[in-house]
Amino acid sequence: MKRVIVVGGGISGLATAWFLQRRGFPVTVLEAGGEPGGTIRTIERDGFRIDTGPTSTLHRGGVLAELIKGVGLDADVVEADRRASRYIVKNGELLALPTGPLSFLTTPLFSGAAKLRLLAEPFYRRALVEESIAQFVRRRLGAEFLDWAVDPFVSGVYAGDAERLSVQAAIPRLYALEAEYGSLFAGAFGRAFRGKPSGPQPRGRLISFQGGMQTLPRAIAKNLGGALQLNAAVTALERMPNGEWFVRTPSSDHRASCLVLALPAYDAARLLGRVSPELARELEAVAYAPVASVALGFRREHVTHALDGFGALLPRRLERETLGVIFSSTLFPGRAPAGKVLLTAFIGGARNPSIADKNKSDLADRVVSDLRPLLGIRGDPILQHVSLWSRAIPQYELGHGRRIARVDAALGRWPGLHLRANWRDGVSLADCVDNAAQLAERLALSMNASEPAAAQEV
Ligand SMILES: Cc1cc2nc3c(=O)[nH]c(=O)nc-3n(C[C@H](O)[C@H](O)[C@H](O)COP(=O)(O)OP(=O)(O)OC[C@H]3O[C@@H](n4cnc5c(N)ncnc54)[C@H](O)[C@@H]3O)c2cc1C
């Protein structure tokens, strides 16, 4: 059987390896760090369970369900209450995002004029050029929907700038509604009533695991067994004259005919610099936004707000540095000791890159002072933990789709080389798993079709 070398033990690399191994292909995963999971990290401090990267993911069944079951985690899944409110901060208050026609008509989040403006949505024409999310939403729904609904959502998912992100690349489902139906409303109704050719889409569930998000990569790592090598940073790679890929770490050399780089774009660019300057240039140009995740523990009686929801997003119009806060101990059990609450806030993003140079305790102070009046916080935090991700989330900016097409064209010139990580086709953990499963299937088909070749450590 042909062996596949996967570089990177984040969820993209681990899931690719797991799906390949399940199909019977031998795999070696080389991960630079001492733990599996990449940006998925869970730590325990003073009885609090803190996710310093992703805190949950949207689960629509499919291959994520197969993976969770396959690694034995079905019983560990915890699910957030679907009916919990999502708050947007406006005029110093937390206002629940409307969830139905009645709450939409009565919400103070949008003015009467903005609500009326929506009636005209089906009559706006499609744009002929690629648009940013901001241009798209202003054109179809009006400026208020951009400012008080979509822009905060873009901060929540991408920590991004809606003026710079491509609607096509960053929110393809929204873009597809217009492309298929000519209007978002027609699209939403059309899909609901007609259903998709493949049947109705399962409703998403927001999930985590009892032991926190890193439970998943840890379980995959356990399943992979000796196939995963930690503390194995790849320092060089090369294509041999016989077509095999040669990969070097400080302690081992490897060769295989199939190589998957499941790495952030900038790390893949560094490794590919000598192999393909063309690919390296494209990958180096993918922008990233910095984000600090600030975990704050409080005594329950020191927070006046009911914390009865997912959390709150702070729109850019408020001119606060904090992007949003998740009510972590409300969402999932076991995040805080009895009588205490855990909040996870995010600060920074594409519009505020200077946070990457700031001191962690200043960032925590900034977040506490932004949240204090909103949540009625009286005491000081009894727990404070800041994780600074200087290149946290890739930004699918205008032109991203064309860049990906150029990357794919260049990859066509390097048989056996594959690139798979969150800088393309979706940034969420669930997207990474979907994309990993698709790649594994493609590789399995092509390897089954070609001659088997033994792999080796040299
Ligand atoms: C703060 C934050 C909050 C987030 N919140 C959410 C959320 O709530 N829900 C959600 O679904 N998603 C969320 N995401 C996004 C999601 O976590 C990521 O998109 C996803 O985990 C990325 O996985 P990956 O495997 O593609 O990349 P990574 O996790 O970056 O993994 C890449 C791996 O490659 C390794 N590596 C790098 N160079 C080398 C080398 N030379 N040799 C060997 N190994 C190397 C790294 O050590 C790393 O482990 C969040 C991300 C961040 C940063």
Which tokens sit at 278? 């063309």
Q: Residue 188, CB half-sphere, CA atoms under 13 Å: how many?
A: 5
Q: What is the whole-number distance in angstroms between the Cα of residue 452 and the centre of ligand 1?
A: 32
Q: What is the pLDDT of residue 177?
A: 87
CA of 157 to the centre of ligand 1 (A): 14
Alpha carbon nearest to ligand 1 atom 13, residue: 54
**Confidence at residue 118, expressed as pLDDT on a 0 to 100 scale:** 86
Q: How far apart are CA 310 and CA 87, in angstroms?
A: 8
User: What residues flank ligand 1, with Cβ below 6 Å?
Assistant: 7-13, 30-33, 38-40, 53-57, 233-234, 262-264, 267, 291, 293, 389, 392-393, 421-422, 427-430, 432
Select from 159, 194, 229 the last residue of a domain.
Answer: 194
> 440: domain CATH number?
3.50.50.60
> How far does residue 172's CA lie from ligand 1's centre (Å)?
21
Kindly state whether residues 19 and 57 are assigned to the same domain. Answer: no
Say which residue the tokens 């009911």 belong to: 306
Among 39, 235, 260, 387, residue to substitute to test ligand 1 (most atoms within 8 Å of Cβ): 39
Type of residue numbered 13: G
The structural domain count of the chain equals 3
Nearest atom in ligand 1 to 38's CA: 49
Per the structure, the complete domain to which residue 255 belongs is given by: 4-36+214-286+397-457
**Long-range contacts from 225-230, C-beta under 8 angstroms, 24+ separation:** 227/17, 227/21, 227/26, 227/27, 227/28, 227/29, 228/9, 228/14, 228/17, 228/29, 228/31, 228/36, 229/28, 229/29, 229/30, 229/31, 230/9, 230/31, 230/33, 230/34, 230/35, 230/36
The reply to whether 301 and 363 lie within a common domain is yes
Residues 271 and 402 in one domain: yes
* Residue 182: predicted pLDDT: 80
**Which residue has the least CA distance to atom 22 on ligand 1?**
422
177 Cα: distance to centroid of ligand 1 (angstroms): 29
Contact predicate 229/33, CB 8 Å: no
Cβ-based neighbour number of residue 278 at 10 Å: 14
- Mutual angle of helices 62-70 and 429-449, in 10-degree steps: 80
The predicted pLDDT at position 339 comes to: 98
Domain assignment present for residue 104? The answer is no
> Residue 339: what are its φ and ψ, rounded to 5°?
80, 5
Confirm whether 148 is domain-assigned. Answer: yes
Task: Note the pLDDT of residue 1.
Answer: 60
What residues pair up with 51 in beta bridges, in sequence order?
Answer: 42
What residue owns the CA closest to ligand 1's atom 49? 38
Paired sense of beta strands 340-348 and 288-299, if any: antiparallel
pTM of the model: 0.94
Per residue of the chain (458 residues), give pLDDT as tens. Answer: 678 999 999 999 999 999 999 999 999 999 999 999 999 999 999 999 999 999 999 999 999 999 999 999 999 999 998 888 999 999 999 999 998 888 999 999 999 999 999 888 888 888 878 999 999 999 999 999 999 999 999 999 999 999 999 999 999 988 988 888 787 877 777 776 665 555 445 568 999 999 999 999 999 999 999 999 999 999 999 999 999 999 999 999 999 999 999 999 999 999 999 999 999 999 999 999 999 999 999 999 999 999 999 999 999 999 999 999 999 999 999 999 999 999 999 999 999 999 989 999 999 999 999 999 999 999 999 999 999 999 999 999 999 999 999 999 999 999 999 999 999 999 999 999 999 999 999 999 988 876 444 333 43
What atom of ligand 1 comes closest to residue 427's alpha carbon?
Answer: 19
Quick one: how many helices (H) and strands (E) in the chain? Answer: 17, 21
CA of 40 to the centre of ligand 1 (A): 6
Q: What is the CATH number of the domain that holds 180?
A: 1.10.3110.10
Which residue is listed with tokens 């090369």? 238
Residue 368 lies in a domain: yes
Alpha helices in 89-194 (DSSP H): 101-106, 112-117, 133-141, 143-145, 151-158, 167-170, 172-181, 184-194
Last residue of a domain, one of 194, 222, 256: 194
* Alpha carbon nearest to ligand 1 atom 41, residue: 234
CA of 208 to the centre of ligand 1 (A): 16
